[in-house]
A and B are shown apart, each in its own frame.
Chain A
């Protein structure tokens, strides 16, 4: 009977790996997800076949309710709300890992069969899983704007977190040594501290840093799953957890590199506060901002040969994705090539902007990564920047004093002309002036992105 289980799990691990391999290309990605899901189905079936239990009715109800709620939420969620949905599902996984370890540890205590090894695995899972659970829930609450997305900071934050972590480690050590005699209260305290740490870690992190946090929490849940695998001697959990831990780590690194902020900076220093002092007065001391009318922009676009659109999260906030796609189609009909240059941190989670554009039927072969589009800017007639700011700021390249200096940006200032659709001259998230706006090549079209684009679409018919 165990052989069936182990062979099933091996098959699952292989299908997971094949599934992720197929996620490397948009053409095969959907089947890759199904491959991984079929691996999951196999693991589920062999597990159910293995165990004989008196609790099947309860387990069955939990599975059915979970599946119905999960499907409903996944079908209903709007694509702009995808980051918080992923955070929420991620938190559920972390919570499950933590609960499994609490249950297994408690049960092993009451049977007097706990070993130091199993206790360490369990306590580690409880710590990581609980941080992931409450951290993800708080990320959800912030992104859903149930509370303000602003960083919440207080003076001795790092110290408090450090002390709590130290207490948790001491309690954990005590439980490992005692082997669980009369330790129920200690375990409860340990769980409460772990749960509290999740909240405290995410509280000081602002909305725009969420791509990093979500990646990091994803890695955490992966590690919690792997640690549960050690606890239960379950290889498929170890493999799956390691895969997810690696993927979360890579994405976290990629995101913090794209934001030009070391990960400890994001976790421990609230960005808005750091940069605010260096922001300075609005809009260029050494240049004039040129504005353009909708008619001007329509004419410029209609008579160019190739256009690169640089979308930022402001585009999604204005819900103007459909208008952008229509603009692309209209320009294509006139023989203008339209491509999209997408910064890695555009949106609220890694790759979010690509999803938002795909939802509006923009074909994925028009979407270009930063490294692919940057060499193309000098040969580009017009760049249309919509709702993006800091990721186009040339100060990141040429002003060593700027807080953005060193951040990889889209070099839109190298194009022949730049048109910026923007609500007002307010600086971007980092609170830093953008010299792009006073560049003689640049024209600003002020207003709501959706309204401006709709007018632009009408004007294009008359050009």
Chain B
């Protein structure tokens, strides 16, 4: 039990380091899409919500879990769609239409 927890702590600590390394190199031009993309990434909480919803019984617990599924889906889908929309607007000069 303890060793299991310890492995999870290992994973967490290493992932934090990876996160700091990755994100500190993102230019400020992209900070809004970065934020909205990472916002969508934490929507992976959806898998936790599904896991819970399919393992609990009783009206109260099921309602709570289904509500969690709904909120998490909003987070994931909305997050990715909005990030894609933002990034679709970033264009380079060379890709511009020919000068009128």
Contacts and interface: CB of A to CB of B under 8 A. Distances in A.
A106 B19 CA distance: 32
Contacts, number: 384
A226 B24 CA distance: 20
B85 A222 contact: no
A88 B45 CA distance: 16
A228 B43 CA distance: 12
Given A226-B12, A245-B19, 10 more contacts: A20-B26, A36-B80, A66-B70, A92-B74, A96-B43, A218-B42, A349-B31, A349-B35, A351-B32, A363-B96
Interface string B67-88: 1111111111111111111111
B48 to A, nearest CB: 5
Q: How large is the interface on A (under 10, 10 to 19, 20 to 34, 35 or more residues)?
A: 35 or more
Interface in B49-100: 49-56, 58, 60-62, 64-93, 95-96, 99
Contacts of B93: 363, 365-366
A173 B45 CA distance: 25
Say whether chain B's binding surface is mostly helix, strand, loop, or mixed. helix
18 contacts: A17-B18, A30-B84, A33-B83, A51-B50, A55-B53, A55-B54, A74-B81, A79-B86, A96-B72, A99-B67, A100-B49, A106-B60, A107-B55, A225-B42, A239-B12, A354-B32, A363-B95, A369-B27
A235 interface: yes
Interface of B: 1, 4-5, 8, 11-13, 15-16, 18-20, 22-56, 58, 60-62, 64-93, 95-96, 99
A361 B73 contact: no
A363 B81 contact: no
A351 B30 contact: yes
**Top 7 A-B pairs ranked by shortest CB distance?**
A246-B19, A66-B73, A351-B31, A53-B54, A70-B78, A242-B15, A70-B77
A20 B70 CA distance: 25
A363 B91 CA distance: 5
B96 to A, nearest CB: 6
B8 A70 contact: no
A95 B71 contact: yes
A308 interface: no
A40 B75 CA distance: 12
Given A36-B37, A59-B50, A355 B8 contact: no
Interface centre among B4, B8, B50 (most CB of A within 10 A): B50
A66 B89 CA distance: 25
A149 interface: no
Interface string A2-26: 0000000000110011011101111
Nearest to A347: B32
Interface string A339-360: 0001010010111101100110
B32 A82 contact: yes
A55 B62 contact: yes
Contacts of B91: 358, 361, 363-364
A102 B48 CA distance: 12
A351 B16 CA distance: 23
A214 B41 CA distance: 16
Contacts of B73: 62-63, 65-67, 70
A237 B78 contact: no
Contacts of B34: 20, 23, 247, 251, 350-351
Contacts of B62: 55, 58
A34 interface: yes
Contacts of A318: none
Given A24-B25, A82-B86, A364-B90, A237 B54 contact: no
Interface stretch (A42-50, A155-163, A294-302, A447-455): A42-50
Contacts of A107: 52, 55-56, 58, 61
B51 A243 contact: no
A254 B41 CA distance: 21
A119 to B, nearest CB: 13
B10 to A, nearest CB: 10
